[in-house]
Structure 1
Amino acid sequence: MSLTAGTRFGPYEIIAPLGAGGMGEVYRARDTRLGRDVALKLLPDPANRDRFEQEAKAVAALNHPNIMAVFDVGENYFVSELVEGDSLRKLDPMPLRKVTEIAAQIADGLAAAHAAGIVHRDLKPENIMVTRDGRAKILDFGLAKVEQPASNDPDATQAISKTDPGAVMGTVGYMSPEQVRGRPADHRSDIFSFGLVLYEMLGGKRAFQADSAVETMNAILTQDPPDLPATVPPALQQIVDHCIEKNAAERFQSARDLAFGLRALSTHSSHGSGQVQALTSAPEPPLKAKARPWPLIALALAGVAAAAGLYIGRASISTAQPKFTRLTFQRGYVSSARFAPDGKTIVYSASWDGDPFEIFSTRVESMDSRPLSLSNAHIFSISSNGDLAIGLDPKMASNRYGLSGTLARVPLAGGAPRPLMKDVFAADWEPKTDRLAVAHLVDGNMRVEFPVGKVIYQTSGWIGTVRFSPDGKHLAISDHPLRWDDRGDVAVLDLEGHKTIVSGGWESVEGVDWSPSGDEVLFAAAESGLSRTLFAVTLAGKRRQIFESPSALMLEDIGPTGRMLVSSDDGARNEMIALNAGDSREHGLAYLNLSIPADLSRDGKQLLFTEFSAGKNYAIGLRKTDGSPAILLGEGQASSLSADGQTVLAILHTAPQQLLLVPTGAGETVHLPNPGLTFQNGAQWMPDGKHVVFAANEAGKAARLYLQSVVPPDQPRAFTADWMTLDGSSVSPDGKAVVARHANDPLAIFPIDGSAPQPIAGVQAGDKFLRWSADGGSLFFASDNGCHSRIYKLNWHTGAQQHARELMPSDQAGVFGVDPILLTPDGSGTVYGFERVLLNLQLVDGAK
């Protein structure tokens, strides 16, 4: 069907057509709920439904600034961001630096897709847009397929990739040899196609161009393309050659390495000012309709020959540029790493293949690691005399953030750890002494202490890193105002606790350390998303960029010579899994790649969730647990779904924060009054639908529990003392009490009327409260053992337990627990979440 301007398609108002093809019609439309323009793609031919759905699922699984974002998916349509710009084929001439920058961005986008297991299979100039602000966007995943992880259900790939064995898929002229032969094509096929696009950008003509499609495909299999013009730097020629090797095993093995190489080459060549020359592309082979001419690029910059120091295969550059050497090769999560005093020994902690954390050592010149007989432990710091500060029995406070343990001291040479204090999240040795600075949780607040016992700073949020300056006069910290949210600031404390924010307002900041001279603080941060850049900032706030990363880079340590240890993301994704009453099979419900469950309707049919990858303020999502398409309701962090399913309680993380009532259907969002409170752990509806309850704190004070009327909206009223936290779905069915915790006391039942709390019999320390039973006589809890959660029903009067069910992801690599867990009141319906984060450790030389 064709739509005309002004036509309404659900909440979308058609503005104008953008284009059409065999895979769908695309319109510019207005999302009347959020007030933004979007691209609406409709399927005109039901025969193409499988491939259309395949594209929607493929792109919806990704969240990256260099990949077109999908906002909404439905039957025979999906809605994506509106990319304002031109395809590569229509771009004007560009300078050399811009060419390599765009190429690196394309590689970044491919790296993100490949990390999610998605292969594009049709990369070409028409499928790459460049926005008006110079950002490359990969489009059109209509031929994409999901690679099959070794440990996953084989049906997963069959459900998404419908290609018959032996079918030739792709566009002639940009296909890999394996595509031409109709053989399986993995992520290295995209690298070949990328090489052909880059060749065309540099040389002004296609790498393989013959009189017919058959001859072109034969050339891809049997011939090498002509050398690029002599003006192309040898290092860039080498990158192209390495991309388009006939044998996939001889190409770049990851798009991430490719991006690093291109970006470093661009930096090395940044003083060149050569303008590329626009050429006209040759005609398309007869297999496809003729495309519009593409202004292609012939380089004219001979002064870049020194860039030939690039060594293909390791993404390492000449000594003027950073060289990256991978140190770990197993599948799992590196939690921390430090240089030993000799500068050549590296000590790190990691969880491989779902096993508990363990501490290992390796050498700069070695590819092997050896365990230090310190299992179930995490490394905090190494002193100048070789003592380790470690965390015993480490636990993640959330799916990914807030790794804590019992602080202990042990010699690097060996011995038994000596426990010092509990609930420590970060620690560092004072230079040339045996005193420690620590960040630990006390009575609901995170404290920085130095020396231990003297509080110099505290926050209701959390502290991710504590690092001493080389002269021992300052501490650099990553300061996160919201508990278990990685948004935050890089700050410096003097030893009396005076705080200076040297770089603030980051959407993601992880890893902080000092330069060897102590003149700068280095940190990894992102303004949006998780693709962090390494920055340096002076104490006066003057910031500079050191290098970019296409992944979730984390700075681990800087040695005395400036060598760095970084952990690099091999892939991160949050999963949401539903197991409905009577079902024998689980349903995956994740929307993009950072979907976190928030609440479950009483009948278990509607899931409220937050999509944390949908922008700076996140997005509120609603989805049926049968796997029907998700609906995004607007900005904010979802907290609670009203009993009638009509209104969502959510938090908007602005300054100050706002508590929102968001309709699930037609209606206007209501902003509740907030007298400057900071919300902790979300908010929940009361059963009457007229009040909400939440934990929050005033500036500089500990959290209390509040009750607030929403009909009519009124100011919140505190009904407990300080140092309170809420857990799980805490409101009782009759609305008279909540399950909560005071300071470090056991969980208890706190009446809303402010009377004395009632104890909960039989609950085990460390078990997670989930929700009340329907009759209010029992409580559901989860007992965790790593990735395994045992759910039980507890009579809170007698302490009697009844086993309910077991939850455990089948593949546990990079997973640190099942959280959150949502249940229906009778316990028959379940939705649980978990995050998989795969990190490797890398040594960085030459970064300045």
Structure 2
Amino acid sequence: MSVPTQPPRQFRFGEFKIDLQTGELSSNGRKSTLSEKPLQLLVALVERPGELVTREELKKKLWNSDTFVDFDLSLNKAVNRLREALQDSAEQPRFIETLPRRGYRFIAEAVPVEPALSEKQPVLRDQAIATTAATESVTRRVRSSNSIIVATLLAAGILAGAFAARKFWATREPRFQQLTFHRGTVFSARFAPDGHTVLYTAAWDGNASGMFTNRSEFPESRPLGSGKVHILAISRLGEMAVLLERTFIAHRQFMGTLARAPLSGGAPREVAEDVTDADWTPDGDKLAIVRASRGRYRIEFPIGKVLYETNGWISDIRFSKSGDLIAFLDHQVFPDDSGAVAVVDLRGNKRVLSGGWNSVEGLAWSVDGNQVWFATDALYAVTLSGKIRTVLRTGTDITLHDISAAGAVLLSEDNKGISMMLSTPDSKTERDISWLKSSVVTGISQDGKLLLFSEQYAGGGPGYSVYLRKADGSDAVRLSKGSSLGLSRDGKWAAASVAGSSGDELWILPTGPGTPKRLPNFGVQYYYAADWLPDNKRILFSGEMPGHKPCFYLVDTEGGGFRRMTAEGTYGAASWSGNIVSPDGRRLFAKDLNQDLWTYAVDGSGGRRITHLASADIPFQWTPDGRAIYFYRQGQVPARVYRVSLVSGKREFWKELRPADTTGVLDIIAVVSTPDGSSYAYSFDRWLSDLYLVQNLK
């Protein structure tokens, strides 16, 4: 009898070997395991080497038709993760070739690997057993007739049990119900005490944000109240915590005056100012808050008592069911949403449950109160001992808003992107010069022909990526992993921050031929903004040392030294961009904790206060004569750009930054300009959300 052939289980290509059964990928003696979607993608491509596998074919192979997922974004993520595992690149592929807007092709030779003898033996043993069984069939034939009735009854029982199990498990599958249908952004959503009514804040169809109410049995949402009101939390007693006259800060966060308001209606009672988040104690009597004050975020409970404070920012505070812990998201750098899931007790003892997430949006306590659920590229649960499990894989960006007492979950699917716009003297209108899906501009060359930017979200990969792109729209060049900070005056070097094991690392990257160089960090843990001096050798940057507030430092890239330039509490214009040094290289600008704009002498001879700015006012560029500074106001779309005179403090309108389609646009997050203002670029953040009620998650 011939041995039946089995399809190859293992393939070798280049220096890699993949086991299609276990997902184990090995290279030069090192082994790793591919996650589900990258493995399925690799199998689909390796099965058809040299052939185009269309995006539609891959979508059908990787996801069921009823899967809750943004297929295009999720496929891009799977491709990026597979390329990262294979150390491959889209620009110079060795294994996976991209055919734009069509699909992918596996271009390497994939050679089947013959399994070891031990892996073949089960097939041979099965054959031997079959042969022995044939010689003994006559002996068993008599006994088999007596067993038919028993076997039939047993089979019927098994079949009935199988159908019962199938019905049971079918009822436990996640069930999704879409609650919102307009085009725009969902900022926050909460269950009312009845567990069926949902209140949420959203901005639909290009209009200003407002509060809405919805019930699952009625898909139509109704406006709730009027004016600038933002929902934060709802107590078990039916009282809301809301923000009045709030101002948008970043991502889903607003800042305003905290007020208590009855869910049944009535005038709100103001409680505290400069609040960004709040949650009720389990008994519904008191509130814990997050307050932004003098450049720092802090958790207060009771209001006025600080439990935790950070130079970064805090979001999504939630009281535990027992009321002895507050869970929250701890973000290191404002307004980057990377960060950690943490808890703090009522004595101010804080600990991290899970950290190192590229993007984390929303958390809530599980129904039993033993886990904290949180959302990144999937929905996860973490115990207080730090054990993590996956609750739901969606393949797209999601935000966890709330979990009801019965276990129903409010999730929004968020199609997030950051667009980069460019205006040059020869262009009649601004044009989109984004590269992937999250292009954050941080530098522009003196002649306006080069743009330095970071790619974030999934397109940038873990830790983000630094790119350079010509203004003519030719393909961008990836310089390194990390976040871009600033471009040298001659355009030959880029400064970048790269995440290391104990904090950020400062690197300078050649934009042409040359060797990247890591600079000493001198104890600096985080880098926020940077600019080069005209000599193209020294870098001025805003940074933070452990236990200290941010300030400015000057470092010589050729080993000439390092010194602090400003007092603690003076910081960079923004985390994203900043042309901070004057054209002659003699001065820099900064803001202090009182939101005053200052200029400081680079030679260390002192500083001078210029004027007071709002907390959302972001200075980003000097005028060519060094007599004025440009600034714009974050949180407003369109954003108006002004020049402020260093002599008189007078402000003069320059221009308005307005994306053509403002629906879902949260903010203008970065602006850069050439010294003469003839070319400028900016990035804006767009979120398009759909809110879902999800049942049967465990």
**Bin of the TM-score, shorter chain as denominator length:** 0.7 to 0.9
Give 1:139 deviation, angstroms: 7.3
State the Cα deviation string for residues 583-619 of structure 1 (Å, max 9, x = none): 2032221111111101111111110001122221221
Q: Are 1:647 and 2:493 matched, yes or no? A: yes
Give 1:461 deviation, angstroms: 1.6
Alignment of 1:669-708 (within 5 A): 669-708=516-555
Q: Are 1:792 and 2:642 matched, yes or no? A: yes
State the Cα deviation string for residues 235-261 of structure 1 (Å, max 9, x = none): xxxxxxxxxxxxxxxxxxxxxxxxxxx
Structure 2 residue aligned with 1:811: 661
Structure 1 residue aligned with 2:394: 549
Structure 2 residue aligned with 1:357: 209
State the Cα deviation string for residues 445-477 of structure 1 (Å, max 9, x = none): 221111111111112222121100111111111
Q: Which amino acid aligns with 2:526?
A: F
Structure 2 residue aligned with 1:847: 697
Give 1:758 deviation, angstroms: 2.0
State the Cα deviation string for residues 379-410 of structure 1 (Å, max 9, x = none): 11112222211223444434x36443332322
Q: Which amino acid aligns with 1:591?
A: W
Task: Identify which range, 738-747 or 452-461, moves more after superposition.
Answer: 738-747
Change over 3 Å in CA distance of 1:492–1:600 after alignment to 2: same
CA distance in 2, matches of 1:541, 1:395: 35
Change over 3 Å in CA distance of 1:473–1:111 after alignment to 2: closer
Out of 406, 409, 424, the residue aligned to residue 564 of structure 1 is 409
- Give yes or no for contact 1:683–1:695 (8 Å, CA) kept in 2: yes
Q: Are 1:504 and 2:355 matched, yes or no? A: yes
Structure 1 residue aligned with 2:428: 584
Q: Which amino acid aligns with 1:336?
A: S
Structure 1 residue aligned with 2:22: none
Change over 3 Å in CA distance of 1:484–1:776 after alignment to 2: same
Structure 2 residue aligned with 1:342: 194
Q: Are 1:518 and 2:369 matched, yes or no? A: yes
Change over 3 Å in CA distance of 1:792–1:484 after alignment to 2: closer
CA distance in 1, matches of 2:165, 2:96: 31
Give 1:116 deviation, angstroms: 10
Alignment of 1:394-543 (within 5 A): 394-398=246-250, 400=251, 402-525=253-376, 532-543=377-388
Structure 1 residue aligned with 2:229: 377
Q: Which amino acid aligns with 2:481?
A: E
State the Cα deviation string for residues 172-191 of structure 1 (Å, max 9, x = none): xxxxxxxxxxxxxxxxxxxx
Task: Identify which range, 571-580 or 763-772, moves more after superposition.
Answer: 763-772
Structure 2 residue aligned with 1:281: none
State the Cα deviation string for residues 697-750 of structure 1 (Å, max 9, x = none): 221221122111222253x32222221211132212222222111112322223
Say which one has the larger Rg.
Answer: 2
CA distance in 2, matches of 1:108, 1:826: 54
CA distance in 2, matches of 1:499, 1:696: 24
Q: Are 1:721 and 2:567 matched, yes or no? A: yes
- Give yes or no for contact 1:784–1:790 (8 Å, CA) kept in 2: no
Give 1:132 deviation, angstroms: 9.6
State the Cα deviation string for residues 266-285 of structure 1 (Å, max 9, x = none): xxxxxxxxxxxxxxxxxxxx
Out of 177, 191, 201, the residue aligned to residue 325 of structure 1 is 177
Out of 391, 395, 417, the residue aligned to residue 573 of structure 1 is 417
Q: Which amino acid aligns with 1:87?
A: L
Give 1:433 deviation, angstroms: 3.8
Q: Which amino acid aligns with 1:776?
A: G
Structure 2 residue aligned with 1:87: 45
Task: Using structure 1 for the length normalisation, give the TM-score.
Answer: 0.64
SS at match of 1:472: coil
Change over 3 Å in CA distance of 1:421–1:694 after alignment to 2: farther
SS at match of 1:729: coil
Structure 2 residue aligned with 1:606: 450
Task: Using structure 2 for the length normalisation, give the TM-score.
Answer: 0.77
CA distance in 1, matches of 2:213, 2:314: 26
State the Cα deviation string for residues 192-219 of structure 1 (Å, max 9, x = none): xxxxxxxxxxxxxxxxxxxxxxxxxxxx
SS at match of 2:526: strand
SS at match of 1:318: helix
Out of 478, 481, 504, the residue aligned to residue 635 of structure 1 is 481
Q: Which amino acid aligns with 2:452?
A: L
SS at match of 2:675: coil
Give 1:346 deviation, angstroms: 1.0
State the Cα deviation string for residues 131-157 of structure 1 (Å, max 9, x = none): 999xxx9977648379xxxxxxxxxxx
CA distance in 1, matches of 2:635, 2:365: 37
Change over 3 Å in CA distance of 1:304–1:460 after alignment to 2: farther
CA distance in 2, matches of 1:100, 1:580: 40
Alignment of 1:131-210 (within 5 A): 142=99, 144=101
CA distance in 2, matches of 1:772, 1:465: 37
Give 1:626 deviation, angstroms: 2.0
Out of 756, 781, 786, the residue aligned to residue 631 of structure 2 is 781
CA distance in 2, matches of 1:117, 1:501: 31
- Give yes or no for contact 2:249–2:634 (8 Å, CA) kept in 1: no
Q: Which amino acid aligns with 2:545?
A: E
Structure 2 residue aligned with 1:190: none
Give 1:309 deviation, angstroms: 6.3
CA RMSD, aligned part only? Answer: 3.5
Change over 3 Å in CA distance of 1:419–1:680 after alignment to 2: farther
- Give yes or no for contact 2:313–2:335 (8 Å, CA) kept in 1: yes
CA distance in 1, matches of 2:406, 2:212: 22
CA distance in 1, matches of 2:464, 2:42: 22
Q: Which amino acid aligns with 2:384?
A: L
Q: Which amino acid aligns with 1:637?
A: S
Structure 2 residue aligned with 1:758: 608
Structure 1 residue aligned with 2:242: 390
Alignment of 1:97-116 (within 5 A): 103-105=61-63, 112=70, 114=72
Q: Which amino acid aligns with 1:580?
A: T
Q: Which amino acid aligns with 2:321?
A: P
Give 1:484 deviation, angstroms: 2.0
SS at match of 2:446: coil
CA distance in 1, matches of 2:612, 2:349: 45
SS at match of 1:768: strand
Q: Are 1:826 and 2:646 matched, yes or no? A: no
CA distance in 1, matches of 2:391, 2:408: 13
Out of 565, 590, 593, the residue aligned to residue 743 of structure 1 is 593
Give 1:641 deviation, angstroms: 0.5
State the Cα deviation string for residues 801-822 of structure 1 (Å, max 9, x = none): 4432222111111102222111
Q: Which amino acid aligns with 2:465?
A: A
CA distance in 2, matches of 1:488, 1:680: 15
Give 1:117 deviation, angstroms: 13
Change over 3 Å in CA distance of 1:132–1:420 after alignment to 2: closer
Task: Identify which range, 638-647 or 758-767, moves more after superposition.
Answer: 758-767
Change over 3 Å in CA distance of 1:812–1:139 after alignment to 2: farther
- Give yes or no for contact 1:804–1:827 (8 Å, CA) kept in 2: no
Give 1:490 deviation, angstroms: 1.2
CA distance in 1, matches of 2:66, 2:543: 39
Change over 3 Å in CA distance of 1:770–1:130 after alignment to 2: closer
- Give yes or no for contact 1:438–1:449 (8 Å, CA) kept in 2: yes
Change over 3 Å in CA distance of 1:115–1:374 after alignment to 2: farther
- Give yes or no for contact 1:87–1:130 (8 Å, CA) kept in 2: no
Give 1:102 deviation, angstroms: 8.8
- Give yes or no for contact 1:356–1:375 (8 Å, CA) kept in 2: no
SS at match of 1:508: coil
